[in-house]
Structure 1
Amino acid sequence: MAGRSKKKGTSGAARNYITRTRAVKKLQISLPDFRRLCIFKGIYPREPRNKKKVSKGSTAATTFYYTKDIQYLLHEPLLAKFREHKSVAKKIGRALGRGEAGDAARLEKNLMPKVKLDHIIKERYPTFVDALRDLDDALSMLFLFANLPSSEHIPAKTIALCQRLTREFEHYVITSHSLRKSFLSIKGIYYQATIQGQDILWLVPYRFVQRSGGDIDFRIMGTFVEFYTTLLGFVNYRLYTSVGLVYPPKFSAKSDEQGGELAAFQLEGKGTATNSASNAHDENAEIDPEAQAIADRIAAMPDVEEEEETMDLVLATEDDEEEATEGIDKFEPTAPDADILPQPQASSAEVASLFAPHTFYLSRETPRASLEFILKAFGCKRVGWDGILGDGAFTTNESDPAITHQIVDRPALSNGAPAPDVPETTNGGAAAPKIQWPHSTMPGRTYVQPQWVWDCINQGKLLRPDLYSPGADLPPHLSPWVKPKKGEYDPNLPLEAQQPDGEAEAFEDDGDEEDATFDVDGDEDMDAINDREDSVEAGEGMHVGDSEDEDSDDSESDAGPAAEELDGFESDAESDISEGEAARLQHQRELEAEATGKKLEVANPSRKEQNAAIRKKFDKKKRLEEEERDRQKMMLSNKKRKLLKRIEYGENKRDTESENLRRKRAKLEKAKAAAEAL
């Protein structure tokens, strides 16, 4: 008995997906509200495996969603807020149409519903760790909007809110010493912090003049900002209370107007907090007793100098065995070709006190906001800068004797002093006397470029400041998240340690050949080359002959490449014989010299001959390895041989890129050595 036939489009993939048009009609809201609701709830379009089955044979471009997701949105409380907002907007439009501006303002103030996303945050992030894992995009977006200028699309209130939330988060990172790495890239500055075991990476743009294009949909971005500000507010509150701090911290509007930024916020502990309306959230919060004990212990920690004295006393009383157990082991490779094992990172106490003993002064040309954040996150409590950069500096006096390091980003003169500023002209056109910067170099102070700070925190130690002195050629600034693999080019290693056998000699010969190719004697050679090119263009030597002589010439020309190949084999054989004959003759000369008692004169080979011998030996070794590899390939199956071919393609591409980089570096080092010789 045959079963009942099912109607097409009522089961399977056609039932699991729904088009956006049908979803909007089912929810009875407008398309902008639907987009906004999907962003809040984390519902995104889906791509079916077979669009023709889902769309009942249609091939038109259509956006699909999961039917269960749209069914889930039917019970969302925000739908009622959207419909209420729509009805109030109609009343306001009617009032404005009648010219009743006062009634319209009253309706907007009293009846316009306020959308709260608290319940959505709790739904999407059941645990606090889930919120931390999803914090990367939120921080990048909010730091971007915090640096944008206000416009008709971006209100100043939104920018101020993003600035407040991001600076509160930076204060927590500074207090908890959670920052681990940072990198200066073309897009901006990357930061990575480890908070409660979760690595959080975000991007902060440089403070240039931002010009937003007209092809950006700020409504979509504004919806994300609205969600992310609510999320970061919850996260900041939880982070502050976990270390025993009052949230929100005290904010000084006067200091913020004067460019204080981080200095505009004053952190307070729970013990010193006053019961005010601004701290209403903290009064009802549940504090973890273990976290509060840790916060009290951190608050009771002595200053840096007292801490160093106590640490000296503790270390003096410990035994040698206990001191040995506190050190961090280093994993050394057992063989020269072995893999490099990841080394253990420094402890949190060492990271927190990297810049603690020093006092920094930031020159006017340096990025003050990023440097202040990084220095304070790694233990520095005294950071000063010029008063023109804003409020909140430890000192604005550049000649303060307490300053140990000054960060500058200006070129230096040939005698080692920093370069002077551009001379100013008076009204009469005459040049005013040049003002050198700084007026005098302070003795005992270390002058470094800003990259020194980033490289120090990425490597977890204070690097040599002379490599980063003003005007010096800086070491390569590499990403701390990308580790060089075996066989790839590594800018940190010397060139000799990365070159395989025979490559250095090949680079030297290439340089000699390039010099020889550019050595053209006079204009006559160039004219001859041009004449030869013109003759080829005219078709010279392209005629086909009919005589026997021409046929014989053509046959000889056709046999040319084969003859050349045979000549090549003969030359190799002759070279082998000549080498054996040369060794025999050399031995004969040694015997004759020993018999007659004369001293044998040995001719020293030239540098070019030595390079040719080394390169020939390397090529022979490489050829033997390739032949052995080809023999091993013959034993593989067709499938494995194709897989090996793809692997070799990637390796050859990597090796070619590495060789090109090494070649460029060899040329630069050669040019630098020649310039220093002059």
Structure 2
Amino acid sequence: MGRIKKKGTAGAAKNFITRTRAVKKLQISLPDFRRLCIFKGIYPREPRNKKKVSKSSTASTTFYYTKDIQYLLHEPLLNKFRDHKALAKKIGRALGRGEAGDAARLEKNLTPKMTLDHIIKERYPTFVDALRDLDDALSMLFLFANLPSTSAVPPKTIALCQRLCLEFEHYLIISHSLKKSFLSIKGIYYQATIQGQDILWLVPYKFVQNITGDIDFRIMGTFVEFYTTLLGFINFRLYTSVGLVYPPKFNAGSDERGGELAAFILEGKGLDSAQTVVNDAVNANGHVPKAITSAAAQAEADKLAELPAPEEETEDSTALVAANGEEESTETIDTFEVTGQDADVLPQPQATGVETSTLFSPFTIYLSRETPRQPLEFLLKAFGCKRVGWDSILGDGAFTTNELDPAITHQIVDRPPLPRESLPAVPDAAPATAGEGADAKPAVGWPRSTVPGRTYVQPQWVWDCVNQGKLQRPDLYSPGATLPPHLSPWVKPKKGQYDPTAPLAEQELEGEAEEFEEEEEQIENGQEAEESEHEKAAPLKLNGKRKSLDVLLDREGSIEPGEGMDVAGSVSESEDEDEGEALTPDEEFDGFSEESESEVSETEEVRLQHQRELEAEARGVPVESLNGNVQPKSKTAEARKKFAKKRREEAEEKERLKMMLPQKKRKLLNRIEYGANKRDKESELLRKKRRKIESVKGGK
């Protein structure tokens, strides 16, 4: 007989450990245990059977893997936590004795310094692994960079987050790694591609943040401490890969004046400007250079700079092409068109990195005071614009602060054009100096006047150009115009779904436009209102009783010649019997009123119409021919009936084919059809709304 195993020593009970036992085993406090788990990337686990793990206990307990806790026993940070705990005891003892100077000296000289460098190397063996985990880090750091300083969020942490985020933005500008951006309710989403890895993060808007008391900033501060170390390593690697000196020089005076990106001065090792290295590499090789070491960046850039640009063509080659009659190559991208209704939709080719990186390079753009300067400056510079100006009140670092500068080609405004009477008065100009002249006038720009030759657009134009990879029509984004829909660049409409960007004629089903036109005609002619009134059939009053109009019509239509008052047991008598009421001689006839006369005339018209229908049926001719007003059938009505018949036949054919399937597959097909029908109804509703909007615009 084998040895009997003790309960809880093998299996799932051995693989998991409770949080209380883990804290006791590591001999640290619960807050330090939480910090250590966040640093090391260890999270609670959910066992399949809690009763087996917790030894039949049903209490709510947090479990960890036993191997993870064993791994933490050899962590060097444990000694730092214990030293900090011992120092806290010494400081508390000194304060208890009233020795404040000794307590300050102990805190200044004996506070243990913790570094997370070894943890970064353990969790991310390669640089690509660190890039894959950069999404949450950037979102958290950009959030803390926009928070106000409080007791829970110290100013040093905010300044560190701002510096790291701006350094990362500078690399994206230099390398042209930014690809897409989207304005949402939560904030601004950005996507960059670095060494083949797509990184998506969220940046909040520059609003005043209201910090509530239900946020645990201790946990978030632990994540920020880890993420700042991670982003510092990544920035160092990215800067050195393109031959930049890290960290870049920081101008504190410019930062105090709101310079932000302009407060950093980038320098290359052995070069006057690191931007020259990247630009030469882009122009010569056709794409952004890959990550290389700083020492090799100089040699690689020199080799690429000596190569001739492939885009340059000599006069002889141009003349040869013209002589042969060959067409010159265009810069447009080929697109794959759908050949059939049920054909697969192929992904369209996107613009290359060189085309998008120089999207705004020929322009000089001026930002008005009401526009968000920080995201616009970052986007414009990341896509090639070297000359971005704004008013001096927005901060330091502008290319020009003069709104009337003739070099400005585009001005981004976010205010509609207003009549001159509603604008405030122009302040008096400052007294002119001797050099300026006495005839100097105050510089007044938008919205009082526009500069000839300058394009005025709204901020959404920049985002739509970036997402589409090409310049959009500026007239669609003129001040005060209704902007096109701003859609997420990461959500692509699937087959059968509503696509706001595609024309309505390409998406609507067969016969859908005719049905909409028929509904509009019915609404205009008031047919729907008449039908609803006929269905309701307001009761009429006859001989002191209320009767339905349908009953009267049925009765009049059923009377044959020779009958009439000889019919016994009328409808009114049966109703009187059911209600248990008897009519007195005085109530039988109370004279004719105007209402009763109109009712009699209506019933007479109905009777005559019924008589005409019987005569037309006997002769075999339409009723309209008897009246003399034959109306031709509407083409839309005929098309609608044709398409309805076709759909009905297709549905019947589908039902017949469905009956041939086994029951299991038939149920699966029903579930698929349910989801497809739900999607089609939603798409049809959206198309109907869009068609109504377009019809209203067309009418105006």
Cα 1:107/1:326, change in 2 over 3 Å = same
Q: What's the CA shift for 1:645? A: 1.7
Q: What's the CA shift for 1:3? A: 3.6
- How far apart in 2 are the matches of 1:315 and 1:6? 91
Q: Which amino acid aligns with 1:248?
A: P
- How far apart in 2 are the matches of 1:654 and 1:81? 58
Cα 1:4/1:503, change in 2 over 3 Å = same
Aligned residues between the structures: 588
Find out whether 1:287 has 2:293 as its counterpart: yes
Aligned residue runs from structure 1 range 20-419, under 5 A: 20-272=19-271, 287=293, 289-294=295-300, 311-313=311-313, 317=317, 329-335=334-340, 337-413=342-418
Q: What's the CA shift for 1:422? A: 5.9
Once the two structures are superposed, what CA deviation does each residue of 1:550-586 show, in whole Å capped at 9, x if it has no partner?
89999xxxxxxxxxxxxxxxxxxx9xx99xx889x99
Cα 1:440/1:412, change in 2 over 3 Å = closer
Q: What's the CA shift for 1:34? A: 0.6
- How far apart in 2 are the matches of 1:512 and 1:214? 59
Contact 2:259–2:396, Cα closer than 8 Å, also in 1: yes
**Alignment equivalent of 1:445, drawn from 433, 454, 460:** 454
Find out whether 1:472 has 2:497 as its counterpart: no
Q: Which residue of 1 aligns with 2:695?
A: 670
Aligned residue runs from structure 1 range 476-555, under 5 A: 476-511=485-520, 516=526
- How far apart in 1 are the matches of 2:314 and 2:211? 58
Find out whether 1:634 has 2:674 as its counterpart: no
Once the two structures are superposed, what CA deviation does each residue of 1:31-80 show, in whole Å capped at 9, x if it has no partner?
11111100000001111111111112122211111111111001100000
Q: Which residue of 2 aligns with 1:544?
A: none
Cα 1:553/1:624, change in 2 over 3 Å = farther
Q: What's the CA shift for 1:205? A: 0.6
- How far apart in 2 are the matches of 1:390 and 1:72? 50
Find out whether 1:605 has 2:614 as its counterpart: no
Q: What's the CA shift for 1:499? A: 1.5
Q: What's the CA shift for 1:642? A: 1.8
- How far apart in 1 are the matches of 2:373 and 2:698? 37
- How far apart in 2 are the matches of 1:503 and 1:325? 39
| Percentage identity across paired residues of the two chains | 72
Find out whether 1:661 has 2:686 as its counterpart: yes
- How far apart in 1 are the matches of 2:421 and 2:397? 28
Q: Which amino acid aligns with 2:638?
A: A
Contact 2:244–2:294, Cα closer than 8 Å, also in 1: no
Q: Which amino acid aligns with 1:180?
A: K
Deviates more, 1:370-379 or 1:510-519: 510-519
Cα 1:334/1:665, change in 2 over 3 Å = closer
Q: Which residue of 1 aligns with 2:586?
A: none
- How far apart in 2 are the matches of 1:392 and 1:183? 25
Cα 1:469/1:327, change in 2 over 3 Å = closer
Which consecutive residues of structure 1, in runs of 5 or more, have no partner in the other structure? 275-285, 426-434, 537-547, 555-573, 587-600
TM-score under structure 1 normalisation?
0.79
- How far apart in 1 are the matches of 2:372 and 2:87? 47
Contact 2:420–2:448, Cα closer than 8 Å, also in 1: no
Q: What's the CA shift for 1:324? A: 5.7
- How far apart in 2 are the matches of 1:60 and 1:631? 57
Once the two structures are superposed, what CA deviation does each residue of 1:299-329 show, in whole Å capped at 9, x if it has no partner?
x699xxxx99x94446974786997699855
Contact 1:189–1:203, Cα closer than 8 Å, also in 2: yes
Deviates more, 1:442-451 or 1:488-497: 488-497
Q: Secondary structure at the match of 1:438?
A: coil
Q: Which residue of 1 aligns with 2:13?
A: 14
Q: What's the CA shift for 1:113? A: 0.5
Give me the CA root mean square deviation. 3.7
Once the two structures are superposed, what CA deviation does each residue of 1:128-175 show, in whole Å capped at 9, x if it has no partner?
000001100000110011011111110010000000000000000000
Q: Secondary structure at the match of 1:193?
A: strand
Q: Which amino acid aligns with 1:344?
A: P
- How far apart in 1 are the matches of 2:635 and 2:11? 75
Q: Which amino acid aligns with 2:487?
A: L
Q: What's the CA shift for 1:504? A: 2.2
- How far apart in 1 are the matches of 2:211 and 2:124? 32
Q: What's the CA shift for 1:99? A: 2.2
Once the two structures are superposed, what CA deviation does each residue of 1:198-233 show, in whole Å capped at 9, x if it has no partner?
111111111111101111111110000000000000
Q: What's the CA shift for 1:506? A: 2.6
- How far apart in 1 are the matches of 2:421 and 2:61? 62
- How far apart in 2 are the matches of 1:419 and 1:175? 46
Q: What's the CA shift for 1:441? A: 0.8
Q: Which amino acid aligns with 1:486?
A: K
Once the two structures are superposed, what CA deviation does each residue of 1:94-132 show, in whole Å capped at 9, x if it has no partner?
222222222111111110111110000000000000000
Q: Secondary structure at the match of 1:491?
A: coil
Contact 1:150–1:156, Cα closer than 8 Å, also in 2: yes
- How far apart in 1 are the matches of 2:66 and 2:94? 40
Once the two structures are superposed, what CA deviation does each residue of 1:366-399 show, in whole Å capped at 9, x if it has no partner?
1110010011001110000000000000000000
Once the two structures are superposed, what CA deviation does each residue of 1:390-424 show, in whole Å capped at 9, x if it has no partner?
000000000000000101111124xxx89964679
Find out whether 1:647 has 2:668 as its counterpart: no
Larger radius of gyration: 2
Cα 1:672/1:87, change in 2 over 3 Å = same
Deviates more, 1:8-17 or 1:632-641: 632-641
- How far apart in 1 are the matches of 2:207 and 2:389? 23
Q: Secondary structure at the match of 1:270?
A: coil
Contact 2:403–2:445, Cα closer than 8 Å, also in 1: no
- How far apart in 1 are the matches of 2:420 and 2:119? 56
Cα 1:423/1:339, change in 2 over 3 Å = farther
- How far apart in 2 are the matches of 1:582 and 1:493? 48
Which consecutive residues of structure 2, in runs of 5 or more, have no partner in the other structure? 274-291, 428-443, 547-572, 580-612
Q: Which amino acid aligns with 2:389?
A: G
Contact 1:420–1:436, Cα closer than 8 Å, also in 2: no
- How far apart in 1 are the matches of 2:177 and 2:102? 52
TM-score under structure 2 normalisation?
0.77
Cα 1:118/1:124, change in 2 over 3 Å = same
Q: Which residue of 2 aligns with 1:592?
A: none
Contact 1:506–1:615, Cα closer than 8 Å, also in 2: yes
- How far apart in 2 are the matches of 1:239 and 1:620? 65
- How far apart in 2 are the matches of 1:147 and 1:508? 53
Contact 2:414–2:459, Cα closer than 8 Å, also in 1: yes
Q: Secondary structure at the match of 2:51?
A: helix
Cα 1:325/1:504, change in 2 over 3 Å = closer
Contact 2:269–2:294, Cα closer than 8 Å, also in 1: no
Q: What's the CA shift for 1:497? A: 2.3
Cα 1:602/1:480, change in 2 over 3 Å = farther
- How far apart in 2 are the matches of 1:512 and 1:386? 55
Cα 1:552/1:375, change in 2 over 3 Å = farther
Q: Which amino acid aligns with 1:672?
A: K
Contact 2:456–2:478, Cα closer than 8 Å, also in 1: yes
Q: What's the CA shift for 1:348? A: 1.9
Q: What's the CA shift for 1:438? A: 3.0
